[in-house]
Amino acid sequence: MSSYSIGQAARVLGVSPETVRRWADGGHIRMDRHGPGNRVIDGVSLAAFAKERAAGVPTGPDAVATSLRNAFSGIVTGVTLDDVAAQVEIQAGPHRIVSVVTREAVEELGLAVGVTVTARVKSTDVHIDKP
């Protein structure tokens, strides 16, 4: 059976090692000791936790209901405007996402460097939602 260190689990889940420690201390992820004090998470438990976390449906007044499941929350790092089209660059954790959308969409959403967005990917299309 595979096991993961706190750092490895953090990379898999896209969070900081401190977040993984808090989740473990709060009883959300089962962690065991391996050797003289090293904390590890078994692969089956980590997979189950990742699946439960991904199944979460957004709630609240600003939540967006969508059928798209590949969502990457991030920050806009670049916007290049043309007469009709625009290129939007997003940094979502370790992922750089580039989308070409209409200039009108960029203006309507108020997209600019530093704005928090969610890129939703379906097939070869990227949809950008602003919370």
Per-residue pLDDT reduced to its tens digit, 53-100: 766 545 445 656 666 567 788 889 999 999 999 999 998 877 889 999
- Pair 74, 91: CB distance under 8 Å: yes
Token pair recorded at residue 125: 């299309």
d(CA 25, CA 19) in angstroms, rounded, equals: 10
Percentage of the chain surpassing pLDDT 70? 85
> What angle is formed at CA 92 by the lines to CA 99 and CA 69, rounded to 5 degrees?
75
Per-residue pLDDT reduced to its tens digit, 30-46: 888 877 778 898 888 88
**The pTM of the whole model exceeds 0.85:** no
CATH level 3 topology of 3-54: Multidrug-efflux Transporter Regulator; Chain: A; Domain 2 (1.10.1660)
Domain edges within the chain: 3-54, 70-129
DSSP annotation of 83 reads: S
CATH level 3 topology of 70-129: OB fold (Dihydrolipoamide Acetyltransferase, E2P) (2.40.50)
**Average per-residue pLDDT for the chain:** 83
